[in-house]
Structures are given as C-alpha cells and as structure tokens.
Amino acid sequence: MENNNVSQEASFHLHILGICGTFMGGLALIARELGYQVSGSDQNVYPPMSTQLEQQGITLMNGYSAENLQCKPDLVVIGNALSRGNEEVEAVLNLGLKYTSGPQWLSEHVLQNKWVLAVAGTHGKTTTSSMLTWILEHQGFKPGFLIGGIPLNFGFSARLGESDFFVIEADEYDSAFFDKRSKFVHYRPRTAVLNNLEFDHADIFEDLDAIKKQFHHLVRTIPADGLIISPENAHNINDVIAMGCWTAIAKTAINSDAEWQAVLLQTDGSQFAVFHKGEKQGVVNWALSGEHNVYNAMSAIVAAKHVGILANDAIHALETFQNVKRRMEIIANIKGITLYDDFAHHPTAIKTTLDGLRKKVANETIIAIVELRSNTMRMGIYTESLAQSLALADSAIIYQPADLDWDLTKVLNYADNIQLCTSLDDIIRQLKTEVDSVKHLVLMSNGSFGGISQRLINEL
C-alpha cells in the first residue's frame, strides 16, 4: 500500500487506541491527510484535541470497549498508555485483528524516503522541534512534522507536509505494551539533535544507564553521512557517544568554546550572537528567555544548516518564533500580575524555567505552583532536587493530592520557601492572601492541574 495512493487508502480503516494523546492525535491527523478512514477511542475525549480530530472527520469513541471494534478495522494502532487487561486491547487480541504501535506505523507509512530530523533529550524536545519546524517553514520548505505539543506558529501538532523533510519529536518512552523499545528507535533520522539526558520515566527505566542504552540504540541508526548535534557540556550524551558513534557530531555551547557558540548579549537569553567556527553568523532578538532556550535555538539552527539553510536565515526565522503552547505561555495579565502556564515535568525543567524568568524580571516577586504529574515526579524520585529547583521562586506551593505515592513533607527538609496544599481550594486561598505583593504566578504541570488556571483567573 503506497502512501500516495489515496483512492486505495480511503477504504482502509485505521483505528487508534489512545487517540487523544498529543502523539497519537497527531498521528491520526497525518493518517487522515493520507486518505485513511480514521477512528479512535480514549478514556479522555475532550477539547481541544477532540475538537481538532472531529473537525477532520475522525470518529471518536469515549472510553475503551470491545464494542468499539464491531466495525472490524483493517489495522489497530495501540498507544503506549494501553496495556493488557484493557477491554479494547483484549478484544483486539481475541478477534485476531492486525495491530501495531504508533512509532512503527509512522516509520512504515510516513517516514520512509523522508529526510527525518529528530529531536531527542530529557528536556527541550517539543520546543526545539517547534523551532526547527518553523525555520524550515519560514524558508519555504513546508516540512511535515509530529510534535508533542502545539507550536503557536502553526496552531496544530502534526501534518504530512509537502516536502522531503519531516521533523519529529523523538521520545525515549517505550513504544507499546508489546514493544518496549524507545519510540525514537523507529524513526531512523538523518539529522539528530540530542539535547540532554537525565534520569526520567522511572516507571519503565531502572536507572540512567538503561536510558543511555536506548539513546545508544538511536545513535546506531543514524547514517555516517548524517549529523548528530549536542551541547559540549552534555556529559550523559557524551557517555552515549562514547559507547559507539559512526556519525559526524556538531557541538554547541554558550559563552564557551565549541564549533557552534552562542554569546549572550542579555543575561536572560533574550538576545544572543551566534558564531560558527569563530565567525559571527548573526544576532537573535526574540521573545523567549532562559539559557535552555538558547541551547534549543542553537540546536535548531545547526540542524537547519544541515539541510541547507544558512544560519543567518534561521536566525531571522527565530525572531518570529512564537514558542509552544504551555511553555511559559502567558495566559492572563490581571491587576499587575502575570499568570503563566508551563509544562513542567522534571526538576531540571522547573529550575531552568524559573532561572530564565528570574533573569528577566529581576527582583519582582515570583510564586511557583507545582503539580507533580509525571510518573517519575509522582514516585518521589527527586525529593531534594525538587526542593532545590524551586529556590529561585520567592515562594512555592506544591499540590499534594490524596493519591500521591509519597510523603511530600520530606521536601520541606531541603527548602524554607515551600508550602504544601492538599486541595485546589487551599492553593487559591493561599494565593489570594499574597495577591498584593506578587507579580508573577507560574503554574507548573504537565497535566490539566484540575482546571486551576481558569479558577485563578476568575478569582483574581
């Protein structure tokens, strides 16, 4: 079955389990573009993803049930959040339906014969992928992409594209209950960004070495005439490279020697010069802040250069980059208070985000409100580092719901600017007592945080 044979694919029914996740929802949109009949089920069918999918003629089913498979789809794509014991998964197996993982389907039906630009790492995957996609778009390349967030320059998370280039956020999480390889092993990139590497996903990886092994498997798939891009000081990535590498490597750095160097012209990262082998390529003036975003930008510039885009042209593109939804997204300005929504999933992400904001706003009061939503954070792996990550906030509130897997009071042993709240009502009451002094409220969660953002807007 060829991808460009729309008349043939129009009669081919693809059913997706876990369709409302960002990755699987993006996959559904691409499949629809290819001409497939697409349906899907999820236990959380709600906007904006449900609206985006339904507008494309995709049938959604709320909840997992054997009845969802009565239409006998030609192929079932099973998301990695699904496991044995799920009623619909069991029905797929009992009925003998053909099934595959999302990364495997993408590899076989979209990425074949594409120049794949993959962005991997514990932090910055979504932002760097979005920057790189925007640079290619700005230069008229019309790339395909699948990103684990919504780039504000586009307003959607995935598309097939009109060129040979495809940008993908390359996640190290496993592919499916029947395929425990990391997703990115399926993508076979020619250009690979390896931003950083820390211990994460404690629910599936025993330790950091287990993650390094998966990254090594990714490195083994990159052709000799491809390119790997990573920061000079990314020590864990350097360990991965030392395990074996057959591909050219381009290194980046900030205010220190590397093939590609950023020199900060503003301490908050809102302006920086770009140098390649000592020669100035241009200056980035943009709306983003934080050294982490400077590293993200450097990776995107170098990756774009690998496909033929001049660094100065990439720099001009970044000046109109609008960031990603829920990455320090300003969602309200009320009575002198700026309210941000940030997709925080790890202590390092919290720390770098607050560092960027602190350098931008100087001594203005910052309060961070944190929901521990990722599997690793909920397991209590990072007690001390979680407390330390909040040091740059004047005060921090951590939400401790009844079903949290560990005792958060241990965090209080490492910081005196943190308080715990056991309900959203308590959080809002506490914030209302501080409303006269605060200038910046940062909501930090990779989930919905119980809809607290709208409640705060209403209360303030």
Least confident of 95-99, 181-185, 301-305: 181-185
pLDDT for 176 equals 95
CB 334 within 8 A of CB 460: yes
Mean pLDDT of the chain: 90
Residue 25, in any domain of the structure? yes
Q: Which residue has the higher pLDDT, 134 or 457?
A: 134
Residue 289 sits in the same domain as residue 405: no
Q: Which residue has the higher pLDDT, 68 or 11?
A: 68
Mean pLDDT (whole number) for 146-164 = 91
Residue 42, in any domain of the structure? yes
Residue 176 sits in the same domain as residue 27: no
The count of residues in the chain is 460
CATH of the domain at 346: 3.90.190.20
Q: Can you give the residue range of the structural domain that contains 214?
A: 111-318
Residue 123 sits in the same domain as residue 208: yes
| Range list of H helices, 229-345 | 235-242, 291-306, 311-318
pLDDT for 1 equals 33
Q: At what angle do helices 291-306 and 347-361 cross, to 10 degrees?
A: 110
Q: Which residue has the higher pLDDT, 292 or 252?
A: 252
Residue 324, in any domain of the structure? no
Q: Which residue has the higher pLDDT, 357 or 49?
A: 357
Nearest to 187 by CA among 129, 139, 127: 129
Nearest to 118 by CA among 291, 110, 126: 126
Residue 405 sits in the same domain as residue 435: yes
pLDDT for 7 equals 42
CA distance linking residue 198 with residue 184, whole number of Å: 16
pLDDT for 202 equals 62
pLDDT for 460 equals 78
Residue 235 sits in the same domain as residue 379: no
Q: How many domains does the chain have?
A: 3
Question: What confidence tens digit (pLDDT) does each residue in 403-450 have?
Answer: 777 778 888 888 889 899 889 999 998 888 887 888 999 998 877 788
Mean pLDDT (whole number) for 282-292 = 92
Domain final residue pick, 66, 101, 136: 101
Whether pLDDT at 380 is above 70: no
Nearest to 228 by CA among 196, 200, 265, 194: 194
Q: Residues of the chain with pLDDT > 90: what percent?
A: 60
pLDDT for 4 equals 43
pLDDT for 252 equals 97
Residue 1, in any domain of the structure? no
Domain final residue pick, 74, 101, 128: 101
Domain final residue pick, 77, 101, 125: 101
pLDDT for 127 equals 92
Residue 217 sits in the same domain as residue 334: no
Residue 128 sits in the same domain as residue 258: yes
Question: What confidence tens digit (pLDDT) does each residue in 312-355 have?
Answer: 999 999 999 998 877 888 888 888 899 999 887 678 888 888 98
Confidence band, pLDDT 50/70/90 cuts, at residue 201: low
CATH of the domain at 42: 3.40.50.720
pLDDT for 39 equals 96
CB 247 within 8 A of CB 230: no
pLDDT for 379 equals 61
Question: What confidence tens digit (pLDDT) does each residue in 17-73 have?
Answer: 999 988 999 999 999 999 999 999 999 777 777 888 988 899 999 999 999 999 899
